[in-house]
Structure formats: structure tokens, C-alpha cells
Amino acid sequence: MLLLVGLGNPGARYAGNRHNIGFMAVQEIAKRHGIGPWRRRFQGLACEGPIGGERALLLLPGTFMNESGRAVAAAAHFYKLPLPNITVFHDEIDLPPAKVRVKIGGGIAGHNGLRSISEHIGNDYRRVRIGVGHPGNRDAVQHYVLSDFAKSERDWVEALLATLADNAGLIARGEDASFQNKVHLAMVAKGFGAQSADDNGDTA
């Protein structure tokens, strides 16, 4: 069993926030792979189905962001999952918009959702870091991530969510570098993702 977790805050008022792009990514994966219905489980919403030939549980924690670890731990302990079987999709302000990097373990860069998960289950799980850009001022970060994507950003957000979902089978099979590479190339082909190619394939 694999566990794919989307990070965000529950409720309609947060649904379009930059901080909720992890939720959006996992919801799109479920939609594209015909997985459902969502049910209340593990202190959140979950659904189960095959991705890339692997059995996967998709989870949207129903706690707020800073308590995400409670829901992740509940699912991980129920299925007795090792940390390499857990992938967390989350917003990353230290990456430019539309850039995606895959990382196992490492720091949390001030992300409260990751902090909570690491406190509950340990640190060596996979993270799919989804770039949302930085407001340029540390004092503006909270307002920035808790604000909705601007209308001018919606095209790349929709393109990226579709691209992540289309290539989710690679993550399910542990092909992190291929996943990152294919997402990069697909976004460039769609006219987004101006990230430099030499970053591509770096999963550290």
C-alpha cells in the first residue's frame, strides 16, 4: 500500500489558497485515475485505488495544516507503512511557480504541515514540492500562502495539476527522477515551467 497525502486546510474558504495546492494535486490524481469515492477516514477524507499498478490510499487531512501529522500517522499506522511508501504533496515558496522537485527527507523550511508530519512519523518520507513562488518579504509569507491564486496564475496551476496527475504512476513506482523530468518537459511544452533544465532530475 502506498499513501499519497495532499496538504492543505479543510473548508471552502481555503480551497483556492496557494497553501492548498497539495490538496488540489491529490484531488486531481484521484479524478484522473478514476479513484473514489472519498470517505471520512483517518481524521480526513480518503479514497483507495490503483495508480501505476500499485495499490494507493489518497488522503486529505481534515485537521488544519499544523496538525496534518495526526491524520497521516493514523493512516500510516493502520496499514503499517514504512516511510518510503508515503508521499506528501505540498506548496513550496522557495521554488518558482510551476516548478516541481521531489525530495526524500531533509528540512521542512518552515512548513507547518511537514513539521507536524515529521513529528508524528519521522522525517524520511517523500515530498513532492510544488512551487508557488515567494512574495519577496518574509513578513508577507503567511498572507501570501493563505491567499487564492490570482486569475493570471490559473492557467499554469491547471496545467500543472493535470501534468502531476498524468505522471502519478511514476511516483507510485518510485521513479522520482523520471517523474520530475516528465513534469518539467510537459510544462515547458505547454508554455510554462521556465525552470532551468540543469535542475531537472535532481531529487536531492
Catalytic amino acids?
A: 19
Query: 102 CB contacts (<8 Å, ≥6 apart)?
Result: 126, 127, 128, 129, 171, 176, 177, 179, 180, 203
Q: How far apart are alpha carbons 53 and 69 in whole angstroms?
A: 27
Q: In what order do the strands lie in the sheet with 2-6?
A: 39-41, 44-51, 54-61, 2-6, 86-92, 126-131, 100-104
